[in-house]
Chains A and B, each alone.
Chain A
Amino acid sequence: MLSVSALCASYGAIRAVDTLDLEVAPARLVTILGANGAGKSTTLRSIAGLHRPIAGSIRLDGVEIGRLPTHRVVQRGVALVPEGRMVVAPLTVAENLSLSAFAGRGVEGDMLARVYDLFPRLAERRSQVAGLLSGGEQQMLAIGRAMMTRPRLLLLDEPSMGLAPAIVDQVFSAIVALHRDGQSILLVEQNAEITLEICDYAYVMRRGRIVAAGTPESLRAAGAVLEAYLA
């Protein structure tokens, strides 16, 4: 479904992602692990069109999307829960969620119910301005908003950040459920243990490069995860 090859991304002279290859097969849950500054977020931002890569190709179902502007990528079915949430502060929770109609990917009604069901806290606060939500509430909104666009590929950048354990658990249950329903997911998460528990395939990044890849079992066996993290 998604195939990234030889991706290079940089900030000025700082090379954040270096000739990176990565695949997400349909209905798979793939994760990227790596220490702070490894380049995980940059990779996701590049796929979503928020950061313009300097080289390489990003294909969605064989179609190059690496040069498309963000909204076109989203309209093609890629949704991102970004690092730092990026909720639209001056809009209410409900307005934030309703914006996803611009992705033009289907009716929203039942999905809205599903989001409110997953995060009752959002339903309570639906007419509050998003900028005044607590950190965790904003994170919920960012996840809900991505779900609302009914993506074919969901990119999650540390979705559990700032969430209380009960909600973390719900989010992971939701991820697992979505995955079970056939949703393709690319997940970046610091919590390696949970992640390796639920994913189909994992990449380990270090200083902008993939240093290891494989099924969770093979990675655990190789001890590669630990090594990359301590680096």
Chain B
Amino acid sequence: MADFWAAYQSTLGFAMVNAFFALSTYAVLSAGMLSFATVTFAALGGFLGAQLAVHLALPPVLVMPVSALSGALLAYVVALLFLRLDSHWMALASLALVLITRVVALNATALTGGVNGLSVPLSLPLWVLAAILAVICVVFWRLSASWYGIAARAVREDAAVAATLGIPQRRIQTIAFIISGAVGGLGGILLALMLQFLSPETYFIDIAFTMIAAVVLGGSYHWAGAIVGAVVFTALPVLLQAVVPDFEKVANGICLLLIMIFLPRGLIDPRALRLRRARKAPSR
């Protein structure tokens, strides 16, 4: 048991870190925007936090809020620029942003260490990571139950109609971006602490695919879906490596395919729950 824990604790760690990225993506998706900008927020939070840790020798408890804040600030700026774009144009613009991020990370040697990367001489016990994730979960839970949650859902489903009901689309989406930025920046530094090493490749397309896949796999209509999806998406390849080492990748692809085919709205689907509840209700 202890061995099992030792062997898979890092998998759990990465799953939790990916959950932050997935939640960050969920935050914007739940207000009707598909954005990959989380990668950029993570890069800023990660590199900035790492530099603070290296040069000012700040402890993680101080570094993490700074990372989250910097991510949120950047997200605010990104929101100002991006909110004029709709749906897939925003997706592309954010993808372009990710690619630019990598070029900047490669060339801004002072902040990122360039191609050689940056060692991060800090580490984080797993339980701290779990505790932070739990706090973030509470935040998402409360948000979804608050007025903001209701408004965001309306904006997501039909922004024009929501606006005629007095729901300020821009403001809701800006808030969504800021939440996304904070959680993404936090995820960025947490990834740095997990890897203890950063390079421009750390924050790149892979994360974008991981987070979007996690959100959709887990169910994009509930915040818990992001977490479930991140865990499945992270752990699946590792488990498959143990089971079918030679066909791990192919098996992984097939598993994803099967999950989506049989649960096209993801593992957690509030709509199905509602339907079931309505069916049980003796209203008719």
Contact = CB atoms under 8 A, between A and B. Distances in A.
Q: Do chains A and B touch in the complex (CB under 8 A)?
A: yes
Interface of A: 12-14
A13 B279 CA distance: 7
Interface in B269-284: 275, 279
A208 to B, nearest CB: 11
Contacts of A13: 279
Interface string B70-110: 00000000000000000000000000000000000000000
A177 B275 CA distance: 45
Nearest to A207: B284
Contacts of B275: 12
A31 to B, nearest CB: 26
A95 B184 CA distance: 47
Contacts of A14: 279
Nearest to B278: A14
Interface residues of B, dominant DSSP = helix
B82 to A, nearest CB: 26
A79 B279 CA distance: 33
A14 B280 CA distance: 11
A59 to B, nearest CB: 31
4 contacts: A12-B275, A12-B279, A13-B279, A14-B279
Contacts of B279: 12-14
B269 to A, nearest CB: 14
A12 B279 CA distance: 9
A14 B275 CA distance: 10
A111 B279 CA distance: 46
Interface string B250-284: 00000000000000000000000001000100000
B276 to A, nearest CB: 9
A14 B276 CA distance: 11
Nearest to A12: B275
A61 to B, nearest CB: 37
Nearest to B275: A12
B281 to A, nearest CB: 11
B160 to A, nearest CB: 14
Interface string B146-165: 00000000000000000000
